[in-house]
Amino acid sequence: MRGSGNGRHTTVPEHMPSSHRRYGEWTPAKIREEASRIGPMLSLLVEKVIEAKPHPEQGYRSCLGIIGLEKRFGAQRLEAAALRALEIQARNYPSVKSILEKGLDQVPVPQSPEQEPIIHSNIRGSSYYN
pLDDT in tens, 40-58: 999 999 999 999 998 888 8
pLDDT of 6 strictly over 70: no
In a domain, 82, yes or no: yes
pLDDT of 8 reads 64
Phi-psi region of 100 (alpha: psi -120 to 50; beta: other; left: phi over 0): alpha
Judged against a pLDDT cut of 70, whether residue 4 lies above it is answered with no
Count the domains in the chain.
Answer: 1
| pLDDT at site 106 | 92
116 inside domain? no
Report the pLDDT value the prediction gives residue 3, as an integer from 0 to 100: 55
The reply to whether 3 falls in a domain is no
Long-range contacts of 93-102 (CB under 8 A, 24+ apart): 93/61, 93/62, 93/65, 93/66, 96/45, 96/66, 96/69, 97/65, 97/69, 100/69, 100/72, 100/73
Tell me whether residue 24 is in a domain: yes
Residue 38 lies in a domain: yes
Give the percent of the chain with pLDDT over 90: 54
Q: Which domain range does residue 26 map to?
A: 16-105
Question: pLDDT tens digits for 22-32?
Answer: 667 788 899 99
Distance of CA 44 to the CA centre of its chain: 7
Mean pLDDT for the stretch of residues 33-37: 95
Note whether residue 118 is domain-resident: no
| Alpha-helical runs (H) found in 52-112 | 60-73, 75-87, 93-101
In a domain, 62, yes or no: yes
pTM of the full predicted structure? 0.71
- Confidence category of residue 100, pLDDT binned at 50, 70, 90: very high
Q: What number is the average pLDDT over the span 82-89?
A: 94
Give 9's strand partners.
2
Q: 40 in a domain, yes or no?
A: yes
